[in-house]
Every structure is written in C-alpha cells, then in structure tokens.
C-alpha cells in the first residue's frame, strides 16, 4: 500500500473539526476551500488532537479551537463539497451546532 499526499492544508485555514460519535469518520472544515472527510479507525482521535494543538500553537492569534461531535455515523450533512464551492453554495450547518469541545490554551 502506497501513501501519497492528495491535498495540502494550511493549519491557519482550518476553522473546526467535526467527528462522529458512532464511527471513525471526521471532517476538517476549511472555509476558504471545500472540507476534508477522513475515516481512520485507529488514529482519528490522535489526528484530531494534533491538528487542534497545532492550530492553537502555530496560529498564536487564535487561542481556541472548536471540535464538534455529531451523533451520526455518516457526516455528509456537515461537509462542504467541491460542488458546493463551484456553485457558490455554503451549506454551513455548523452555525446551528454548539461545539462539544473547545480547546483553550494560554500562550505566553
């Protein structure tokens, strides 16, 4: 099995992460692009924590990071697709959601 890079995400462009409470899927929300959906059984929580901490530490102007947990196995209703971008649709259903976890780190 060969691993390769499909897309590159600037940490500063990540807005939030949604994760499923019933499976191993998670979505990285990037408002300036379409979202990234992943399924990683063994590493999903580690990946999410690493992204959240990198965002807070590397982008020092932001001191919080939002993580949403959805009670669904499939997260497609919360994903902004390439077609949404092409047709300038913005189905941002996260606006009505309250984050389950907001990481807060004081950087001195």
Q: Does the residue 86 lie in any domain?
A: yes
Q: Does the residue 28 lie in any domain?
A: yes
Please tell me the predicted confidence (pLDDT) of residue 94: 61
Strands (DSSP E) contained in the chain are 16-20, 25-29, 36-39, 64-70, 101-104
Token representation of residue 28: 């990285």
Distances (CA, A) of 27 to 5, 34, 65: 17, 11, 14
Number of domains in the chain: 1
Q: What confidence tens digit (pLDDT) does each residue in 50-87 have? A: 888 888 777 766 677 788 888 888 888 878 877 777 66
Q: Does the residue 1 lie in any domain?
A: no
Residue 15 has pLDDT above 80, yes or no: yes
Query: What CA–CA distance (Å, rounded) separates 20 from 39?
Result: 10
Q: Does the residue 6 lie in any domain?
A: no
Domain of residue 88, residue span: 11-104
pTM value is: 0.73
DSSP state, 76? G
């Amino acid at each position: 099995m060969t691993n390769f890079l499909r897309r590159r995400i600037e940490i500063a462009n990540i807005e939030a992460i949604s994760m499923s409470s019933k499976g191993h899927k998670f979505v990285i929300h990037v408002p300036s692009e379409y979202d990234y959906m992943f399924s990683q059984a063994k590493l999903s929580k580690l990946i999410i924590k690493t992204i959240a901490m990198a965002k807070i530490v590397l982008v020092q102007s932001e001191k919080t990071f939002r993580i949403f947990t959805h009670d669904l196995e499939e997260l497609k209703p919360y994903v902004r697709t390439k077609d949404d971008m092409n047709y300038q649709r913005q189905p941002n259903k996260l606006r009505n959601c309250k984050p389950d976890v907001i990481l807060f780190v004081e950087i001195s």
